Structure 1
Amino acid sequence: MPNLVYKKKYISYVIILLIALFSMVLIKFNLTYLLISHNVWPEGPENIKELSLNYTVDMMIGELYVITFVTAIKITLDFIKEHKRVTDLEKSNLETELLFLKSQISPHFFFNTLNNIYSLSVEKSNKTPKIILKLSELMRYMLYETQSKKQTLENEILCIQNYLDLERIRHDERLEVNMYISGDIQDKEISPMLLLTFIENSFKHGVNKNVGHVKIDINFKIKGDFLYFSVSNPMPAITIHVDNFNKSSGIGIENVKKRLELGYNKNDYKLSIKNKNNIFVIKLKIRVS
């Protein structure tokens, strides 16, 4: 009968409830009369041997208490079960979405690096083995070390350093990368591949779309339970690239924003994105305790 309540068929529920109550009273009356005593209502105001209106109403009210109590328990248990099912489903969906967002990271970087490896191999450059080694280390980390929800900050920084080494090899002298680390990075954890997206974005739009010398500044500062991270790069020099930057650079950033929303509480991070004096600056304060 609770299913009728869930389906909002209240009239049907009341009708079936009354029929059930009357049936129970009728069965109780006959069993008492035949098996126990002809006085079926010894606690009542009168001695009856036939089904009466007073007896029926009194018994139905008594049975209603029992049915109401049992129904309340049933509905409560169903509510708890459904709430758990919905919670587990939401958790599963969030985890699936996080995995999907992580899987979107850096595909174009790998393609670009493989193209560079091919070019260097054709030229029989001495850089080829070093690039292959760095790329294999980076791919191993991305494939096998990022499955958990959190990764040590040390490993994340090591991954970023491998990424930067590859970019330095690719771009030679025209690229200047300054990375600063201050504070204690021991025993600190962060969502994997979170910071690399910001750095990759700075190379995609600050290096690949500029000519000549390009400077990238990256800063890691640990203070208490929080990491203060920043990365800055020049805006694309060519006008058409500036337009494309405004339209496309947000893809990776939006990815990270979504991951932050899914993986952290609002008080655990603060993201700031600014364009000042033709310098694109990203700042992230995030809990790493």
Structure 2
Amino acid sequence: MKKAIITLPDKWLFFLTSDAMEYSVFTIIAYLLYYYILKFKGFWYKTSFIMLFIVVIALLALLKSYRIHNVIILDRSFDFFTEFIGKTFLFYFLINFVNRLDFFNRYKNLEHQLNLAKGQLLRNQLHPHFLFNAFNSLYSMSLKNSVETPDTILKLSGMMRYLTDDSANKKVKLIHELKFIEEYIAIEKIRFGTQANIKFLIQGNSEGKNIEPLLLIILVENAFKHGFYINDKNAFVTINVSITDQRILFLVENSILNKQHFNTTNREGKGLDNLKKRLQLLYPKKHKLVLQHRNDIYRAQLEINLV
């Protein structure tokens, strides 16, 4: 460093017109233009600084022409000037591109965080509705002094643990989600009696597969809410789960009793609306939800690609 400083006065022309010095000047000008000069409000401020930068670049071009030819050649100086202007704009656009890329990354990250927050909000809206139904079941059992009340409370406790702990994760094991549904159905069977026509069938292997929590339970709750709210001999709820590779097919069918004065426009309430929103957020273009009302049977079929 000491030797370089000592020899600098003799090599000042080479130093000022070296590639490293030129690129440093271009980068500084591009940086100042992008972050400061073009953000000035006054027109004359911008114009003054831009003219100053042009003069600096022109001087560099003249010095480089003098260093190479030992005399200033205007044609060669102009060639260097246009080359330097082009490199300055190149650095300017490079800085702009990097900033745009950084902005895009921050935007995508913000969008991701917003989607997570939306999903969590929609998920949390399920809890009060589920608890309302579960405590209604316990209330009905307590009025009958059912001996199965303690076991039902224990099941409900396990479900509450799943709601508060496991379901807080972004994804849960599919086997745990199906276990949660199984316990929910067990409570409903206790509520309506062992003779109630409630079936829950699983085909395929759920091991090693993950799913967003509390999606499937909405269709199950909906079936009991609209198809099994009274213990009628003709009432039924059938749930079939088919698992193949990385795809799950969840089919729920329930009876529609004449006593209900069923109205299909009222069926898609808060629960199904939340389900549709969550599916759009969590499985875009990877799910298919079909809702059908046919021959006194309501059918909800949800197919999800778990990959």
TM-score tier, shorter chain, comes to 0.7 to 0.9
Once the two structures are TM-superposed, the CA of residue 106 in structure 1 deviates from its matched residue by: 4.2
- In 2: Cα distance, 1:12 partner to 1:82 partner: 30
Question: Is 1:142–2:167 an aligned residue pair?
Answer: no
Among 232, 239, 249, the residue aligned to 1:212: 232
2:299 match: 281
Once the two structures are TM-superposed, the CA of residue 170 in structure 1 deviates from its matched residue by: 2.0
Segment of structure 1 superposing worse, 255-264 or 194-203: 255-264
Q: What is the correspondence of 1:257-276 to structure 2 with a 5 Å cutoff?
A: 257-266=276-285, 268-276=286-294
Q: 1:270 to 1:47 in 2, by over 3 A?
A: closer
Q: CA-to-partner distance for each residue in 1:167-204, whole Å, 9 max, x for gaps? A: 11222256321111122222222221111111011111
Once the two structures are TM-superposed, the CA of residue 283 in structure 1 deviates from its matched residue by: 1.3
Stretches (4+) displaced over 4 A: 3-7, 11-14, 25-30, 42-48, 53-60, 118-124
Among 10, 15, 21, the residue aligned to 2:53: 21
- In 2: Cα distance, 1:21 partner to 1:104 partner: 60
Segment of structure 1 superposing worse, 112-121 or 87-96: 112-121
- In 2: Cα distance, 1:212 partner to 1:6 partner: 76
- In 2: Cα distance, 1:236 partner to 1:17 partner: 81
Query: Identity of counterpart residues, as a percentage?
Result: 28
Q: What is the correspondence of 1:100-111 to structure 2 with a 5 Å cutoff?
A: 100-111=121-132
Question: Is 1:114–2:135 an aligned residue pair?
Answer: yes
Equivalent residues of 1:226, 1:287 under 8 A apart: yes
- In 2: Cα distance, 1:5 partner to 1:283 partner: 60
Question: Is 1:41–2:45 an aligned residue pair?
Answer: no
Once the two structures are TM-superposed, the CA of residue 218 in structure 1 deviates from its matched residue by: 0.6
Question: Is 1:67–2:62 an aligned residue pair?
Answer: no
Q: 1:59 to 1:14 in 2, by over 3 A?
A: farther
Q: CA-to-partner distance for each residue in 1:65-114, whole Å, 9 max, x for gaps? A: 23212212211110111010011011111111111121121422312332
- In 2: Cα distance, 1:5 partner to 1:202 partner: 65
- In 2: Cα distance, 1:26 partner to 1:152 partner: 67
Once the two structures are TM-superposed, the CA of residue 272 in structure 1 deviates from its matched residue by: 1.5
DSSP-derived class of the 2:298 partner:
strand
Once the two structures are TM-superposed, the CA of residue 126 in structure 1 deviates from its matched residue by: 2.3
Equivalent residues of 1:146, 1:193 under 8 A apart: yes
- In 2: Cα distance, 1:16 partner to 1:162 partner: 76
Q: Alpha carbon RMSD of aligned pairs, Å? A: 3.4
- In 2: Cα distance, 1:47 partner to 1:249 partner: 83
Normalised by the size of structure 1, how large is the TM-score? Answer: 0.79
Once the two structures are TM-superposed, the CA of residue 275 in structure 1 deviates from its matched residue by: 0.9
Q: 1:120 to 1:150 in 2, by over 3 A?
A: same
Q: 1:72 to 1:194 in 2, by over 3 A?
A: same
Equivalent residues of 1:4, 1:13 under 8 A apart: no
Q: 1:112 to 1:71 in 2, by over 3 A?
A: same
Unaligned runs of 5+ in 2: 1-32
Unaligned runs of 5+ in 1: 33-38
2:262 match: 242
Equivalent residues of 1:176, 1:215 under 8 A apart: yes
- In 1: Cα distance, 2:79 partner to 2:66 partner: 10
1:182 match: 203
Equivalent residues of 1:21, 1:63 under 8 A apart: no
Equivalent residues of 2:137, 2:188 under 8 A apart: no
